[in-house]
Amino acid sequence: MREIAIHDDNGLKHIRVAAGIASSVLDWLIPHVIEGVTTEFLDLLCRQKIAANQAEPGYLGYRGFDKAIYTSVNDVVSRGRPDNRELRQGDVLNIDLAVVKDGWFGHTSRMFSIGEVDPVKEHLIDSAYTTLLVGISHIKPGVAFSTISHAIDDAVKRLECHLAVKCIGHGIGAAMHTPPFIMVDSLLTQDVVLQKGMVFTLDPVLSTGSSQLGIGSDGISIVNVAQSPVAHWEHMVEVTEESYSILTASFREGDTLGYPVINQTLFDFWSPNQYR
């Protein structure tokens, strides 16, 4: 069993920089994600912005992938490959981006709505974001990873959604994917308690219907077999002395152009003080 990294101050400094670049690229991209634009063009823009930050795309060449970002539209769960498809009114898009800066990784993803979307997709997007923040709210030294998994799983069920994949997070640092691999099934999670200096992502992927997965027609993407819409957000989180720090937090957090406005009543119900 591989050990979970406890990063020193130097490592944390580099991780924070990489995470900040990843988040800032998606902030910058927001006004470009509009009806009629192709996902291939969005990939090109991200490459240019990453290069402007003297960083490299983390996904380019990863397991043979030839693009800088994943662009997962509607029922695509992950590994959506940018192409010449134009985004249409009512589409929902997840852009998943990783950067490498001085040998350290930053990784984040967020949802984009193209124009007005139907209520089912809107509920799914809001639920995915709420679920992410519920999980993050439990992070502090001494808490077990299974506590976070259970909180996320319970929130998803109460929101009447489904987890599309069992893995809801992973460690990150000098590699993009490191232990722990956080699973919604606590029996599959390396269940140790959190310590100051740990850094990991949380990214619960939600769907409205069946969670059965398949390979897309491109042979690369992972899709929902029932063609149900999918949504997920991803943040990098550092465990601090007493709590946590969201390393990929956006200056647009709460701005309807980027992040949904969280339902505070729902969030309070699942927060650590109220969780039951």
pLDDT tens per residue, range 26-80 = 999 999 999 999 999 999 999 999 999 999 999 999 988 999 999 999 988 888 8
Q: For the chain, how long is the longest CA-to-CA vector?
A: 48
For the chain, the structural domain boundaries read 9-270
Domain boundaries 9-270, CATH class: alpha beta
Alpha-carbon gap, residue 64 to 7, rounded angstroms? 29
Q: Could you say which DSSP state residue 193 is in?
A: B
Q: Is residue 178 over pLDDT 50?
A: yes
Provide the pLDDT confidence category of residue 211 given band limits of 50, 70 and 90: confident
Residue 186: the pLDDT is 54
115: Cα separation from own chain's centroid: 22
List phi, psi (to 5°) of 230: -130, 150
Residues 6+ apart with CB under 8 A from 189: 145, 146, 149, 180, 181, 182, 183
Query: Percentage of residues in the chain with pLDDT exceeding 70?
Result: 87
Q: Is residue 255 over pLDDT 50?
A: no
Q: Is residue 269 over pLDDT 50?
A: no
For the ranges 85-94, 145-154, 213-222, the lowest mean pLDDT is seen at 213-222
56 exposure class (CB count in 10 Å sphere: 0-12, 13-18, 19+): middle
Query: Percentage of residues in the chain with pLDDT exceeding 90?
Result: 72
pTM: 0.89
Rg over alpha carbons for the chain, rounded to the nearest Å, is: 17
Q: Is residue 273 over pLDDT 50?
A: no
Residue 2: the pLDDT is 67
3-class state of residue 18 by DSSP: helix
DSSP per position, 78-135: E-PPP-SPBP-TT-EEEEEEEEEETTEEEEEEEEEE-SS--HHHHHHHHHHHHHHHHH
pLDDT tens per residue, range 95-141 = 999 999 999 999 999 999 999 999 999 999 999 999 999 999 999 99
